Structure 1
Amino acid sequence: MHLFSLIGGVGHHQGAWRRPNSRAEGAMTLDYYSDIAALAERGKIDALLMADGLSVNGPRLASASFPHVEPMTMLSALAARTSRIGLVGSVSTTFSEPYNVARQFATLDHISAGRAAWNIVTSGHGELNFGDASLPSHSDRYERADEYLEVVTALWDSWESDAIVLDRANGVYADAAKVHRIDHVGKHFKVEGPLNVPRSPQGRPVLVQAGSSATGRTFAAKHAEVVFTAQQTLAGCQDFYSDIKARVRAEGRDPEKVKVFPGVHPLVGSTEAEALRMEDELRHLIRMDTGMTWLSKQLGGIDISGLDPSKPVPEELLPAVDTVQERRSRYEIFRQLAVEEKYSINRLIEAEVMSAGHLVVVGAPEQIADRFAKWVAEGGADGFMLLPSYLPEGLELIVDGIIPELRRRGLFRSDYTGTTLRDHLGLDPLTGSDRG
């Protein structure tokens, strides 16, 4: 199986910074992130994902660690302090331009010797920091993203793989006939090209995407090579997995070359009792007042302040899925927990603060490895996006606990067998002949 790990702040649990031995004071430093990257690389994890946000959420800032370092800057620095692990940066197609993004990821791929990946996000907030226009609708954001990917991939392909000849005797640096303008003219973009960065080691950085809405799944099937999802059950994962693979096949792509990773929040201890104690400790670090405010955003913006927190949210208060414009796929998860699972408001707040709606798996390494093995064997996943509760300790427990157990079962690598992220994922490099 494949394993990615999220890095950022002091962990995925919003209250993890309150732990006495957290490294919250240094969570903006290169040394802090380097320590995390070294841990993950020691575990032979496929890649690190650095998520991003483009605004400050006031209620969440009041109680949660919120150090959004700019991903491309930090990942470029980590490229120099690591040698094999993949580096995945989140960049929005709504609030950036394709030429700049194509340059950034091509450059990261060069300086990391082929370990770059782009986590494509369409952004559900942040518009107030980018002019006075309102946030585009969910469908419009994906329409723009679709054309955006057309431009970026054309720019990456604008240099054929053998365009640089370095003929010193005759003074020829590159064969100009193998560097092509793209002359893109579309609804959202007009880009001449070619890119001013030569073709990178992987041909193209790996494309990663998360989105469980119907529109997001269509987009993923067309473009993505790694697809993240948030599911609470094996049945949910199996449904998502089979749907994505079918959509990929319908696009004329090889389903084996598109990997599906559910996000999992592992709380691991040397024993189940130890893991349960840690879960209880983290539960007591939740501020329910600010959690209530953030949960209301996850529930489509409804006012839940006057409701009994020990009871479920009345279904009639919840908006229809297709009317929600921000974080629609995440809304669907919380709506399902509220309506189908009858979670109380307090329990929904715990799900938001502890794991942002991802599955929480608590137990000893053997128990968590059992769950991982079952989901892969039964068609629910190709691997997992790990969301450590607290960093770097939580990742260390995964690397020294869960991963050795997976290796013992022959389910995870003992060492890297290639040098690029495409090597790790079993994806073919894209050469100049892949120009489309």
Structure 2
Amino acid sequence: MSGARLQHFGWFLARGFGPHGWGHPYLDWDWDWTRPDLYQQSARELEQAGFDFVLIEDAPSLGSPQTIDLRVRHAFGGPKHDPLLLAPYLFQATRALGVIPTVNPAAYLPYTAARQFATLQHLSGDRLGLNVVTDTASARHFGDAPQLGHDAAYDRAEEWLAGIRALWRSWDEGALVRDAASGVYVDGSRLHATAHRGDYFAFDGPLNAVPFTAGEPVIASPGGSGRGLGFAGANSDIQLALAPLHEKSVREYRAKIHAAAIERGRRPEDIKILFAIQPVIVASPEEADRVVAASLAPSDATLRLIAQRQSSDLETDLTALDLDAPLDAGIFGDHVSHGSIRRLTGDRDVATTPLRVHLTALARLGRLSDRSGFVGTAEEFADLIEELGEWGNDGVLLWGDLHPVTIHRTLDELVPVLRRRGILRRELLGDGLHANLRAF
């Protein structure tokens, strides 16, 4: 292949700050998931590998009363501790790696959020990012207001983020004087009130935190709906992309994000688009063929296990449904992520396709070599990344837990191959997450 170019790499801690190792043989490595050591070791490995950041999924809720047991019985959806409070431990263990915890606008009042995030940005040396999600199922934990619908949740998130940014910018240039000769630390005349009265929030400034020297925290967002793409175009520095990885789909997805950015007065290059991939890296093409062949005819027990996982993500009990009957699309509440539903149903007709077919499609693996899936050797995976680069792609978000065993299984052979091909950088800059994202 030709045209190799540097790509940005992130690691998506897909199950959040939860029971790592549970349900896997490597549980007997005896890492304690409630302690920082496991995450610190993995963060150091990612930094050495040249990854830009680790992004930590989160859901503050255990779900609805009807689905709590589904989420916790096998630890698919909980328990989870707060990733924002894990971030300082990861910053302490690394020098340049960005850390992007997931935050929910429903859980943080704008003034409190602006102050806490500013504090972490300073403490980390400008390495904080925020993955802004619009999970509305958690609303009952934060007050008695009615749960918002999908688009209204994005409206609230936009107001929340705009308010936080207004607070961050409530110190004009030159406000922070720090002149020992005169004894003046701050020029109070250069602070402004930032009075906000909106549809969802009301607060006043200025913010009781000093301004940034190397930019505000990086904003990341997921989302595949029209409203989600619009939010990304207006607000995000990183877009987490889920789309089929063929040229037409990748180019169309990127075009939508770029169009949304231009519509909101931004440049397309202001947003780094990283496609999420969960590769299975194996030692040889023959092993890859064996792994794929073993997945083609999943048992009912395997399908039930996948249904449990999907039930957790979708806040909808799929385990009680008839495997051989079509899904009723009405079972999904308005709060359920459109992207999560699409991961289950793909492009299949929901009204006529049995649940078994959807679950079997998730169980089946494909080969990297023919682009039917993500099982293959490090060289084959590098071929895919080069191909994405030829289509103008910005980077890749590798998807998995943050257990050291997973990190090594995925990266031990992959990192040398990517570096030899000129796809993966050898060293991060030391000037913060924005600087690393803008380096190429």
TM over 0.5: yes
The yes-or-no answer on 1:6 pairing with 2:16 is: no
TM-score (norm 1): 0.85
* Count of residue pairs the alignment pairs up: 416
Specify the code of the residue in structure 2 equivalent to 1:48: V
For 1:95-140, what per-residue CA distance to the aligned partner results, in whole angstroms no more than 9, with x for missing partners? 3211111112111110111101111111142223223344211121
Matches within 5 A, 1:329-348: 329-339=339-349, 345-346=355-356, 348=358
Specify the code of the residue in structure 2 equivalent to 1:242: A
Specify the code of the residue in structure 2 equivalent to 1:188: Y
Q: Contact 1:260/1:383 (CA < 8 Å) preserved in 2?
A: yes
Decide which of 387, 402, 411 is 2:414's aligned counterpart: 402
Instruction: Report the 3-state secondary structure (helix = DSSP H, G, I; strand = E; otherwise coil) of the residue aligned with 2:278.
Output: strand
How far is the alpha carbon of 1:301 from its aligned partner?
A: 4.1
TM-score (norm 2): 0.84
Specify the code of the residue in structure 2 equivalent to 1:168: A
How far is the alpha carbon of 1:81 from its aligned partner?
A: 1.4
Instruction: Report the 3-state secondary structure (helix = DSSP H, G, I; strand = E; otherwise coil) of the residue aligned with 2:132.
Output: strand
The yes-or-no answer on 1:74 pairing with 2:79 is: no
Decide which of 198, 216, 219 is 2:231's aligned counterpart: 219
State the alpha-carbon separation in 2 of the partners of residues 10 and 16 from structure 1. Answer: 12
Query: Which residue of structure 2 lines up, in the alignment, with residue 120 of structure 1?
Result: 132
The yes-or-no answer on 1:37 pairing with 2:43 is: yes
How far is the alpha carbon of 1:417 from its aligned partner?
A: 3.3
State the alpha-carbon separation in 1 of the partners of residues 303 and 21 from structure 2. Answer: 14
Structure 1 pair 343/265, CA: closer, same or farther in 2 (3 Å)?
A: farther
How far is the alpha carbon of 1:276 from its aligned partner?
A: 6.0
How far is the alpha carbon of 1:73 from its aligned partner?
A: 0.9
Q: Contact 1:159/1:179 (CA < 8 Å) preserved in 2?
A: yes
State the alpha-carbon separation in 2 of the partners of residues 173 and 334 from structure 1. Answer: 56
- Name stretches of at least 5 consecutive residues in structure 2 with no aligned partner: 1-6, 63-67, 366-371
Query: Which residue of structure 2 lines up, in the alignment, with residue 328 of structure 1?
Result: 338
Q: Contact 1:51/1:90 (CA < 8 Å) preserved in 2?
A: yes
Query: Which residue of structure 2 lines up, in the alignment, with residue 433 of structure 1?
Result: none
Q: Contact 1:8/1:68 (CA < 8 Å) preserved in 2?
A: no
How far is the alpha carbon of 1:179 from its aligned partner?
A: 2.4
Cα RMSD, aligned residues only: 3.3
Query: Which residue of structure 2 lines up, in the alignment, with residue 27 of structure 1?
Result: 33
Matches within 5 A, 1:37-436: 37-56=43-62, 57-64=68-75, 66-160=78-172, 162-234=174-246, 235-275=248-288, 288-289=303-304, 291-295=306-310, 301=316, 305-307=320-322, 309=323, 314=326, 317-319=328-330, 324-339=334-349, 345-346=355-356, 348-349=358-359, 361-379=374-392, 381-388=393-400, 391-426=403-438
Specify the code of the residue in structure 2 equivalent to 1:75: A
Q: Contact 1:228/1:262 (CA < 8 Å) preserved in 2?
A: yes
Instruction: Report the 3-state secondary structure (helix = DSSP H, G, I; strand = E; otherwise coil) of the residue aligned with 1:132.
Output: coil
Query: Which residue of structure 1 lines up, in the alignment, with residue 22 of structure 2?
Result: 17
Q: Contact 1:109/1:202 (CA < 8 Å) preserved in 2?
A: no
Instruction: Report the 3-state secondary structure (helix = DSSP H, G, I; strand = E; otherwise coil) of the residue aligned with 1:75.
Output: helix
Q: What is the percent sequence identity of the aligned residues?
A: 26
State the alpha-carbon separation in 2 of the partners of residues 327 and 166 from structure 1. Answer: 47
Query: Which residue of structure 1 lines up, in the alignment, with residue 368 of structure 2?
Result: none
For 1:304-359, what per-residue CA distance to the aligned partner results, in whole angstroms no more than 9, with x for missing partners? 7342x3x5x636x33499x733212221332325439x98645644776899xxx9
Structure 1 pair 118/70, CA: closer, same or farther in 2 (3 Å)?
A: same
